[in-house]
Amino acid sequence: MSQANIGVYGLGTMGSALALNLAEQGFDVAVTNREVEWIADFIAEAGDLAGRLHPHEALGDFVKALRTPRVILFMIPSGAPMDAMIEVVAPLLEPGDTIIDGGNANFNDTRRRAAALAGDDLHFVGMGVSGGEKGARHGPSIMVGGTAHSWAQLEPMLRAIAADHEGDPCVDHLGPDGAGHFVKTVHNGIEYADMQMIAEVYALMRFGKGMPALDIAEQFTEWDRGALKSYLVEITGKLLSYEESGAPFVDQIRDAAGQKGTGRWTVVEAIRMGQSASTIEAAVAARSWSSEKALRQRLAEVYGNAREAVDLDVAELEQALLAGRILAYAQGFRILRQAADEFDWPLDFARIAEIWRAGCIIRSALLDDIAEAFRKGGAEGQMIEEKAIAEMLSTAVPGLRKSVCEAVAGGHAVPALSGALSFFDTMRQGSGTANIIQAQRDFFGQHGFELLGQDGKHHGPWWE
Ligand code: 6PG
């Protein structure tokens, strides 16, 4: 057997899909799985691609089947299983070999693992893969963090399997160690915010305007032809069109959202770096609150759950969603900018926007504008300062403002849309209210403050 180009360990949904994608692009792929009985089934279902897939039950044989320097992609649960796997596989490897973690791992773990393995000249890549099963099978967006050596090994394979945006493969080397996983985490944070704002706009149409679900489905489909064009708007239009016994299928789904952790990690890191992201925080909070269904039902008895009609047309709601989306992306890029400074990562914001344009869950027409705005440069990652984005946002904000006002007045919860608007209103005020905070801090704790136009630290007259 010819030596395989890459090994894929982990034949779950994403691992299988990536292995098939690699095989389809002409690469020889050694495959294995912890539960060895899955391996034969996987090969049996691979059809014509089976010839390029080389199954091994023993880890040692799997490693020996790889061309050196080796590349092994692990698609296994993040956290402790990855550490356990490294302990077992690292002794079988040689200097120059690369281990890839293709799961949604915490970038702090990725940095730790990369540093630990570097001592033995082993390379550890944190690779964010977005697009779900279909993406992994036919073209995901791939965010790579690791050494230049690993990137040289991986580039031809990843460019071949990645999603294609008008001839540009949606993959790149974004920086060392945890950079790829960090960018993927922020991608997911933006994903959370976008999903939540879509749900809020849906609720305003359904319960504020009394639109039937099928009409809302059509509205989302219509929006998907314009400035809101995106995968998430597209699938929302589709999923709302399903009916069962003449009623919307979505009404049967329990309104309690799950979350695996990436949205929360984005918020934790953002706050740790002094970069609070109100849209993402709101989306994480809304999912957590949603899971308290029994409490919500009891509180509905106590306070009532009435929601009043809203005076909004769909064009205003479209603008609200567009403004919210721009602000969510802007907050995501601000987190990336902060991380680039803190970890000394050479993050290229335009390139990140470019590789999100196809394959990934947050792919949207807006990313073309964002990529172009960052390419023109000037605002160092402050997206809403870029001229073209600022023009778009200025046009959309009135719709967001009216939607939030109507929602709040009518008792509709819009945590992400209102979080976006408050962020915008705070950031556009050259003079804010932090003088009051500073005065309070000084009043009770003599913490001192700066005075406008004067150097040094001062105290208020309350201490004289
Ligand atoms: C992607 C998705 C993917 C996954 C999320 C779901 O980019 O392909 O983000 O990574 O669907 O992890 O996350 P939650 O379970 O937290 O919603």
> Which of 78, 104, 186, 190 has the most ligand 1 atoms within 8 A of CB, as the residue to mutate?
104
Report pLDDT for 173: 98
**Contacts of 116 by beta carbon, 8 Å cutoff, 6+ apart:** none
Ligand 1, closest atom to CA 262?
Answer: 16
**Ligand 1 interacting residues, C-beta cut-off 6 A:** 104, 130-132, 188, 191, 258-260, 262-263, 360-361
Q: How far is the CA of 428 from the centre of ligand 1 (A)?
A: 32
Residue 54 phi, psi dihedral angles, 5° rounding: -115, 105
Q: How far is the CA of 188 from the centre of ligand 1 (A)?
A: 6
Q: Which residues pair with 5 in a beta bridge?
A: none
**Contacts of 435 by beta carbon, 8 Å cutoff, 6+ apart:** 449
Report pLDDT for 379: 63
Give 394-461 as a DSSP string.
HHHHHHHHHHHHHHHHHT---HHHHHHHHHHHHHT-SS-SHHHHHHHHHHHH---BPPTT--S-B--G
Q: H helices within 25-129, ranges in order?
A: 37-44, 59-64, 80-89, 107-118
Task: List, for residues 286-337, the tens digit of each pLDDT value.
Answer: 999 999 999 999 999 999 999 999 999 999 999 999 999 999 999 999 999 9
Of 57, 166, 191, 308, which is the active-site residue? Answer: 191
> Which of 184, 260, 362 has the most ligand 1 atoms within 8 A of CB, as the residue to mutate?
260
Known catalytic residue at 184: yes
Q: How far is the CA of 131 from the centre of ligand 1 (A)?
A: 8
CATH 3.40.50.720 region(s) of the chain? 6-177
Q: How far is the CA of 361 from the centre of ligand 1 (A)?
A: 8
Q: pTM value?
A: 0.97
Task: List, for residues 240-270, the tens digit of each pLDDT value.
Answer: 999 999 999 999 999 999 999 999 999 999 9
Name the closest-CA residue to atom 10, ligand 1.
130
Report pLDDT for 127: 98
Could you tell me which CATH class the domain 6-177 is placed in?
alpha beta
Name the closest-CA residue to atom 1, ligand 1.
130
Q: How far is the CA of 305 from the centre of ligand 1 (A)?
A: 31
Report pLDDT for 377: 79
- For residues 267 and 274, give the distance between their C-alpha atoms in angstroms, rounded to a whole number: 10
Name the closest-CA residue to atom 14, ligand 1.
259
Identify the burial level of 378 via C-beta atoms within 10 angstroms of its C-beta, where 0-12 means exposed, 13-18 middle and 19 or more buried.
exposed
- For residues 404 and 317, give the distance between their C-alpha atoms in angstroms, rounded to a whole number: 10
Cβ-based neighbour number of residue 45 at 10 Å: 11
Name the closest-CA residue to atom 4, ligand 1.
132
Q: Which residues pair with 31 in a beta bridge?
A: 8, 55
**Contacts of 314 by beta carbon, 8 Å cutoff, 6+ apart:** 205, 219
Q: Which of these CATH numbers, 3.30.360.10, 1.10.8.50, 1.10.1040.10, 3.30.465.10, describes 185-427?
A: 1.10.1040.10
Report pLDDT for 381: 72
Q: Which amino acid is at 256?
A: A
Known catalytic residue at 269: no
Of 184, 269, 386, 402, which is the active-site residue? Answer: 184
- For residues 295 and 290, give the distance between their C-alpha atoms in angstroms, rounded to a whole number: 10
Low-confidence ranges of the chain (pLDDT < 50): 1
Report pLDDT for 276: 87
> Which of 183, 188, 194 has the most ligand 1 atoms within 8 A of CB, as the residue to mutate?
188
Ligand 1, closest atom to CA 260?
Answer: 16
Element (H, E) at 73: strand 71-74
